[in-house]
Amino acid sequence: MDDPALAGDCKGFVCSPSVAGNDSLLHPPVAAKASSQSKLKLSPTPRIMSKKTLTVGLGDRSYPIFIEDGIMENIGADLAKRNIASRYIVIADDYVAELYSSTLMASLEMAGIQAELLTFPRGEASKNLQVFAELSSKLAQLGADRSSALIALGGGVTGDLTGFLAASYMRGIPFIQVPTTLLAQVDSSVGGKTGVDIPEGKNLVGAFYQPKVVYIDTAVLTTLPVEEYLGGIAEVIKYGIIRDYDFYCFLERNLDAILALRSDVIQEMICTCCQTKADVVAEDERESDLRRILNFGHTIGHAVEAASDFSIIHGHAVAIGMVTALRLAVSSGLCKRKEAGRAATLIHSFGLPTEIPAGMDRQKIKGYIKTDKKSIEGSVFYILPTGIGSVIITDEVSEDQLDSILKRKV
Ligand SMILES: NC(=O)c1ccc[n+]([C@@H]2O[C@H](COP(=O)([O-])OP(=O)(O)OC[C@H]3O[C@@H](n4cnc5c(N)ncnc54)[C@H](O)[C@@H]3O)[C@@H](O)[C@H]2O)c1
């Protein structure tokens, strides 16, 4: 038996539909729902107007987060009331620019704000020093100076790249986040981590640099591909498991509404995630301690993402990483199997993957885990749940334990 703690295979855990076979403990209706979601198309229900405001409390660097369906049209009017800059440069990838830059630029123009648009090719491949240098040159050619500010319009790639550009250009100019993917709305736009990838690794060059305002328009989620939406959902579930049992129950109760993009539920969901992230960041901005809990599912998730040559998108790899971490927590005696199974079931019910693909090289995954950039003096740290709503940070995972979890055959 590979792993005594998991004797009986899937006990308490669910398996991805493709590999579950007869051993699956999946409750049949859940299995049916998950498999039908692979064909899911986001079809929004009627818009319910409401708005929410939060604050990230960082003393004189505190900033508001506005969450509203359709807020894109009002960003200009709001910025005109704030004393941030005399001129704005919007930065977007070419795809997001095509979809949303006209609305944002019109809103800025209507408010009498001078603004220009710079674009770059979409995708993670653009989050590098070359695109950073090209955008820096374009800023200089436009005559951007210390009275200018940047607006990141797009997903996490745009936010990280633009934030780093803002942190560096003229030794720092203000920037605004207008996140357009669910992942960026619940995670990357809040907290001030900015940066780019280099060939040696993701996000290896960057800075902690906070935005001045975050505007979250939930209406833009309607154009997001389902895969990207579900990738964001993985990060959403993460918040419930690491810190908020009530929120976790909210996700269980509202699964259908979340998949139907019901705007009041979506706003509530995004608001809770941003609040948790804001609380954690306010307590530990530079990830010396508490903030590390946000990496739940990421140590193994990043390794799976890299071992797949990035064919598995980030959020889906995080989903696999979370379920693997739940298994480690069970095998360490930290978490009851039933609790872990409940968490894995929710991940599966949203249509997210829960298993490391059968053919993926386990040694390769282990290699990436060992070189995790969050490791300290050679020790790899894992965020392991002790139940739904609480986690611990530990490096006490033995090589054998990791091997048996990774080799686990479903
Ligand atoms: N800074 C942080 O704290 C933090 C946290 C998590 C992830 N990240 C980073 O975020 C990045 C991933 O972010 P992402 O998943 O948003 O990727 P992304 O920015 O590449 O966006 C994904 C795709 O969706 C498209 N898109 C964006 N908004 C859209 C919309 N509303 N409708 C249709 N298409 C849209 C984009 O053009 C892109 O092709 C990674 O680089 C990761 O390292 C950063």
Structure tokens that stand for 310 in this block? 């990035």
> Using one digit for the tens of pLDDT, what is the confidence trace for 372-391?
767 777 788 999 999 999 99
Q: How many H-runs (helices) and E-runs (strands) does the chain carry?
A: 17, 11
pLDDT of residue 370: 84
The single-letter code of the amino acid at 182 is: L
Considering the chain, what is the average pLDDT of its residues? 88
Domains of the chain, CATH where assigned: 4-40+226-407 (1.20.1090.10), 51-223 (3.40.50.1970)
Residue with tokens 């919007």: 90
> Which of 102, 183, 233 has most ligand 1 atoms within 8 Å of its beta carbon, as the pocket-test mutant?
183
DSSP assignment of 29-74? HHHHHHHHHTT----PPPP---EEEEEE--GGG-EEEEEETTGGGG
Measured CA to CA, the distance from residue 116 to residue 141 in angstroms comes to 12
**Ligand 1 neighbours (beta carbon < 6 A):** 93, 95-96, 99, 122-124, 127, 154-158, 160, 180-181, 183-184, 187-188, 191, 193, 202-203, 220, 223-224, 228, 231, 314
Strands 382-387, 390-394: pairing is: antiparallel
Q: What is the DSSP letter of 5?
A: G
| pLDDT 10s digits, 300-315 | 999 999 999 989 999 9
The residue annotated as part of the active site, out of 68, 122, 127, 193, is 193
Tokens linked to 178: 């207008």
More confident residue, 284 or 75: 75
pLDDT bin (cut points 50, 70, 90) of residue 41 is: low
**3-state class of 128 per DSSP?**
strand
Give me the DSSP letters along 333-351. TSS-HHHHHHHHHHHHHTT
Q: Would you state the pLDDT for residue 50?
A: 72
Task: Give, using CA atoms, the residue closest to atom 42 of ligand 1.
Answer: 156
Residues contacting 93, CB < 8 A, separation 6+: 119, 120, 121, 122, 123, 126, 154, 155, 157, 158
| Cβ-proximal residues to 373 (8 Å cutoff; 6+ apart), any chain | 201, 203, 204
Burial class (CB in 10 A: 0-12, 13-18, 19+), 398: exposed
DSSP 300: H
- Residue to mutate (ligand 1; options 90, 96, 218; most atoms within 8 A of CB): 96
Which residue spans within 94-135 are E strands per DSSP? Answer: 114-120
Instruction: Say whether 302 is catalytic.
Output: yes
Nearest 5 degrees, angle CA 64-CA 322-CA 201?
A: 75
**Amino acid identity for residue 303 in this structure:** A
Q: Helix (H, G, I), strand (E, B), or coil: what is residue 17?
A: helix
pLDDT in tens, 169-199: 999 999 999 999 999 999 999 999 999 999 9
| Predicted local confidence at residue 288, as pLDDT | 82
* CA–CA distance, 296 with 86 (Å, rounded to integer): 40
Q: What DSSP assignment string belongs to 130-152?
A: HHHHHHHHHHHHHT--TTEEEEE
Distances (CA, A) of 222 to 53, 144, 261, 273: 21, 33, 8, 19
Active site residue 171: yes
List the beta bridge partners of residue 70.
none
Among 318, 302, 317, 311, which residue's Cα sits nearest to residue 374? 302
User: In the predicted model, what is the mean pLDDT of residues 113-126?
Assistant: 97
Predicted TM-score (pTM) above 0.75: yes
> What pLDDT does 201 receive?
84
Q: How far apart are CA 59 and CA 284, in angstroms?
A: 13
